[in-house]
Amino acid sequence: MNTVSRRSFLRGASGAVLSLPWLESLAATPVTKVAAPAQRIAWFYVPIGVVRRGFFPGEAETKIPVFQGGNNRRGFVASEIEIPVGENPFPFTPTLEPLEPVIDKVALVTGMDRTYQVGTDVHAQCASCFLSSAPAYSIKESAWPLDRTLDHVIADTVGETTPFRSLEFSCNSHKDNKESIHFDNISWYGTGHVAPSLRDPRKAYRRLFGTQEIEAYRNITDLVLDDARSMKRHLGYADNQKFAEYFDSIRSIEEQMEKMEKLRGSLAEVKMDEPAEAHLPRGEYIRLMGDLMVVALQSGLTNVATFMVGPERWDTPFMYESLFDKPVSHHKMSHNQTKYIDALLEVDRFHMEQFVYLVEKMEGIQEANGTSLLDNTIFTYGSGLGDGSTHQYNDLPIIVAGRGTGASMAGKHLHCQEGTPLADLWLTQAKSMGVAADRFADSVSTVSSLIS
């Protein structure tokens, strides 16, 4: 055997921890072909839904929906044109228009739903549970159907070889302490245990490339781990479970140091300067954070990343420098589509343009075997609300890019049977990344045409 496909290799290991020496011996084997690049996965989360008529095909002339609180299945006026289930031509609706230059690398997916669990705010749940999709009421002692999110489930399989098992990015630059963690995070290690995100470009840069700082940690981690071990005997069962976060964090950092050491050579080739400490217009800020995510995926720092382009709800106005001359609140406007329809469409388009920027960026990066980074990445755009005004959890706006389009869906529109759980897509992606699982959250099946 001259080449080992990384995927079959991972499948064979069925999620077991890969030891580095093994990989090295693999690399040392004389090969005739260049080894296949790592497979990556990333999500681009858009808060507060989209304006349906601007995004979805066949809804341009429908009535602008009025506000409806809570999750409402009858929240929107259905499309006047019945869209056939299955493959359809790609619709260039106003919000999807920016995708034109990358059309052969993306697919629109419609008709997927999540289930809302009564008892928490709609916005809090649509973001925090987007990548969890746990069946309603399945998580005891929590009002949120929030389980270990998909990024971490996948990182359990493909995150062991990289310095960072996963990376979390957010473009929430609000300074006011207004909302709770559930509005601010899509990545969770488990119920009640948030994976906080990088949001300051400078700090993010230093975390990704600052190997010198962490050298100093080596000296103290042994000592504090001993402290932690002896402390465990005073903790009860539940506390001990939570306290595992300490061991895991230290262990992750130690491994990260070792792995970064090994990556030193290729990291030195990364051409990116440390960001200056300065206020950036919103678009530039988002793209800079995006650049950091792309460079992390490109250079082998991680294979798994989440990207939140803004927080849920959070009424504090943002300045969208390129769009409006005054700060506006995306959430507040979303409650009154009739009045703010034009501005909302601009925000939706703006977010789409940022997504396209990243898609193009990934496509422009060539990997060792001649494929692009995008070819080796499942990159998904999505929101936890089907519409910001109706707060519906059904028919969510989803776009898959890169390897996420599967073999045949690139440039097409896949409309799913009504009631298809979003978790079906998540299961499909997990399997594509080598996770040996037959179910994820409330999934019932996989989306066969998107299997890559």
Could you say which residues in the range 295-354 bind other proteins, by CB under 8 A? 313, 315-317, 335-336, 338-339
Q: How far is the CB of 237 from other proteins (least distance, A)?
A: 2
Q: Please tell me whether residue 317 adopts helix, strand or coil conformation.
A: coil
Q: How far is the CB of 413 from other proteins (least distance, A)?
A: 30
Answer for which of 25, 240, 408, 417 binds other proteins (CB under 8 A) is: 240
Q: Which of residues 152-181 bind other proteins (CB under 8 A)?
A: 152-153, 156, 164-165, 168, 174-181
**8 A C-beta contact, residue 175 and residue 318:** no
Helix 218-232 / helix 237-268 crossing angle, nearest 10 deg = 160
- Using CA atoms of 123, 125, 127, 133 in order, give the dihedral in degrees to the nearest 10: -150
Name the one range near other proteins by CB under 8 A: 73-81, 184-192, 258-266, 442-450: 184-192
Q: In the complex with other proteins, which residue's Cβ is closer, 2 or 212?
A: 212
Q: In the complex with other proteins, which residue's Cβ is closer, 79 or 197?
A: 197
Q: Counting contacts by CB under 8 A, is residue 431 touching other proteins?
A: no
**8 A C-beta contact, residue 90 and residue 114:** no
Q: Which of residues 60-89 bind other proteins (CB under 8 A)?
A: 66-70
Token couple for 315: 């009424």
In sequence order, the 6+-apart residues with CB closer than 8 A to the CB of 187 are 131, 149, 151, 152, 166, 168, 194, 195, 197, 306
Q: In the complex with other proteins, which residue's Cβ is closer, 166 or 405?
A: 166
Q: In the complex with other proteins, which residue's Cβ is closer, 97 or 215?
A: 215
Q: Which of residues 194-223 bind other proteins (CB under 8 A)?
A: 194-199, 207, 213-214, 216-217, 219-221, 223
Q: Which of residues 94-123 bind other proteins (CB under 8 A)?
A: 118-123
Name the one range near other proteins by CB under 8 A: 80-88, 191-199, 284-292, 407-415: 191-199
Q: In the complex with other proteins, which residue's Cβ is closer, 238 or 368?
A: 238
Q: How far is the CB of 309 from other proteins (least distance, A)?
A: 18
**8 A C-beta contact, residue 178 and residue 300:** no
Q: Which of residues 353-392 bind other proteins (CB under 8 A)?
A: 391
Question: If binding means CB under 8 A, how many residues of this protein chain bind other proteins?
Answer: 87
Token couple for 237: 């069962």
Q: In the complex with other proteins, which residue's Cβ is closer, 163 or 404?
A: 163
**8 A C-beta contact, residue 47 and residue 311:** yes
Q: Please tell me whether residue 43 adopts helix, strand or coil conformation.
A: strand
Q: CB burial class (10 A; 0-12, 13-18, 19+) of residue 67? A: middle
Answer for which of 173, 211, 252, 449 binds other proteins (CB under 8 A) is: 252
Q: In the complex with other proteins, which residue's Cβ is closer, 35 or 341?
A: 341
Q: CB burial class (10 A; 0-12, 13-18, 19+) of residue 218? A: exposed
Q: In the complex with other proteins, which residue's Cβ is closer, 195 or 286?
A: 195
Answer for which of 74, 247, 274, 418 binds other proteins (CB under 8 A) is: 247
Chain position carrying tokens 């001259």: 2
The counts of H helices and E strands in the chain are 13, 10
